[in-house]
């Protein structure tokens, strides 16, 4: 049995912070600076105007001119969500966080830990969360999500039974539920145009016809409507080591890079690192104009060299949309112990050649066999120019 925890408008609520009155009026998360100009989560009042999450900003404002745009707070959302996930994990749940505000876990192993029934597990989850959330449980992940969508804040909805029970439960529900999954989020609209309003109608269609019209997302939607879903993939509990720097004045450019250098050095000096290299870090900033900025940076190879880390991170820092007043660097994935030790012997040439070969291989994989060619002098002294050289595959 899968349990789904749903906190509607989580990102909007976190970004609104103390300004709770915003949530009572038409409001939407503004697009993140430098990203696609689409609104994020929207308030109930905005939904009444026909504004939907992911709608182009221009269209949203045309539908609702008084729409308040709330600056996004990706760093705050990530922190708040992490706290909630940790609380869920504290009851022993192996949680798969799908997106901020939506997480699932398998209840089977927890039933005996928490009083022997599913209701006790749900009660334990609610107590651990300490925040209003909708809980749903069902035989599949999608069914649990559908149940959570229909649950009330203090009354979880449970679908008992197997795949058939899930299909029967889902049958009268609207196809709009498919928006809850990133892979099928675009389907409800075209399905609606074809007159398919419920998941039962979708499940009744021939599989081949759905595949023919909608491709892979359509097949996934069809499987979900049948009450089937993929297995849960719980996250590995991350080990976070982070450093924060409050900047004396709003900084940008070279000054900010110096601050970044300091943060990198401090992070690498932390005892919890235990000599391990870093595979991925999160760089976050609080902007002087309000809102936050957050970027996860996976390194090409695990490293513990401050110079190379600075090089990789400085390029991301250049994307900062406004001067920052606080900068934060967190290690989110560790690599093996000091894997970036240099070899004793100088092997620069061989290494360069190997990198070049790998680059050529990747370019060919992406753009075809003619992506990397070299000039071969066939008859360099010929008086006829076109006979002097040819392009041949780079080997």
| Positions in the binding site for another protein (CB under 8 A) | 369-370, 373, 375, 383-386, 388-393
Q: How far is the CB of 381 from another protein (least distance, A)?
A: 12
C-alpha torsion sign, points 347, 352, 353, 359: positive
Long-range contacts of 262-271 (CB under 8 A, 24+ apart): 263/327, 263/328, 263/329, 264/306, 264/309, 264/310, 264/313, 264/329, 265/306, 267/241, 267/242, 267/243, 267/329, 267/331, 268/304, 268/306, 268/309, 270/241, 270/243
Minimum CB–partner distance for residue 367 and another protein (Å): 15
Cβ atoms of 114 and 81 closer than 8 Å: no
Phi/psi for 147 (5° steps) reads -65, -40
Report the alpha-carbon distance of residue 375 to residue 394 in Å, rounded. Answer: 9
Euclidean distance between CA atoms 377 and 355, whole angstroms: 25
Identify which of residues 65 and 385 has a Cβ nearer to another protein in the complex.
385
The least distance separating another protein from the CB of residue 76, rounded to whole angstroms, comes to 55
219 C-beta neighbours (distance < 10 Å), count: 15
> What is the closest distance, in whole angstroms, from the C-beta atom of residue 386 to another protein in the complex?
5
Pick 365 or 390: Cβ nearer another protein = 390
Quote helix, strand, coil % in the chain, to nearest 5.
45, 25, 35
Which CB sits closer to another protein, 206 or 385? 385
The residue among 212 and 370 lying less far from another protein, judged by its C-beta, is 370
Closest CB to another protein among residues 356, 373: 373
Q: In the bound complex, what is the minimum distance in angstroms from residue 354's beta carbon to another protein?
A: 23
Tokens of 36: 């696609």
Q: Which two tokens stand for residue 368?
A: 């075809």
Question: Which tokens sit at 372?
Answer: 């990397």
State which residue, 254 or 384, has the beta carbon closest to another protein.
384
Question: Least Å distance between CB 388 and another protein?
Answer: 7
Residue 395's contacts (CB-CB under 8 Å, 6 or more residues apart) are none
| Cβ proximity to another protein, 209 vs 378, nearer residue | 378
Nearest distance in Å: CB 355, another protein: 24
């Amino acid at each position: 049995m899968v349990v789904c925890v749903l906190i509607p408008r989580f990102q909007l609520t976190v970004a609104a912070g103390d300004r709770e009155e915003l949530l009572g009026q038409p409001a939407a998360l503004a697009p993140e600076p430098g990203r696609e100009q689409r609104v994020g989560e929207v308030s109930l009042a905005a939904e009444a105007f026909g504004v939907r999450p992911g709608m182009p900003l221009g269209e949203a404002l045309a539908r609702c001119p008084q729409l308040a745009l709330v600056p996004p707070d990706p760093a705050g959302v990530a922190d708040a969500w992490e706290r909630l996930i940790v609380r869920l994990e504290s009851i022993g749940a192996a949680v798969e966080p799908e997106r901020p505000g939506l997480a699932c876990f398998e209840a089977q192993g927890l039933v005996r830990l928490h009083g022997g029934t599913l209701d006790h597990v749900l009660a334990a989850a609610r107590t651990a969360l300490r925040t209003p959330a909708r809980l749903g449980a069902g035989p599949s992940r999608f069914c649990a999500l559908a149940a959570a969508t229909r649950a009330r804040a203090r009354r979880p909805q449970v679908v008992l039974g197997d795949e058939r029970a899930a299909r029967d439960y889902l049958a009268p529900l609207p196809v709009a539920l498919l928006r809850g999954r990133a892979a099928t989020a675009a389907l409800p609209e075209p399905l609606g145009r074809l007159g398919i309003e419920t998941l039962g109608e979708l499940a009744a269609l021939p599989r081949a016809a759905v595949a023919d019209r909608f491709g892979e997302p359509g097949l996934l939607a069809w499987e979900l409507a049948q009450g089937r879903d993929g297995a849960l993939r719980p996250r590995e509990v991350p080990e976070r080591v982070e450093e924060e720097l409050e900047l004396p004045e709003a900084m940008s450019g070279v000054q900010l890079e110096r601050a970044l250098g300091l943060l990198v050095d401090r992070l690498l000096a932390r005892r919890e690192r235990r000599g391990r290299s870093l595979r991925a870090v999160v760089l976050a900033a609080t902007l002087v104009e309000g809102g936050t900025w957050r970027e996860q940076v996976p390194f090409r190879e695990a490293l513990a060299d401050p110079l190379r880390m600075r090089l990789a991170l400085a390029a991301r820092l250049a994307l900062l949309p406004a001067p920052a007043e606080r900068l934060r660097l967190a290690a989110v994935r560790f690599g093996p112990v000091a894997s970036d030790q240099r070899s004793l012997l100088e092997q620069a040439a061989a290494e360069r050649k190997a990198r070049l070969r790998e680059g050529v291989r990747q370019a060919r994989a992406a753009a075809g066999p003619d992506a990397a060619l070299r000039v071969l002098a066939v008859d360099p002294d010929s008086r006829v120019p076109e006979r002097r050289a040819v392009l041949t595959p780079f080997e």
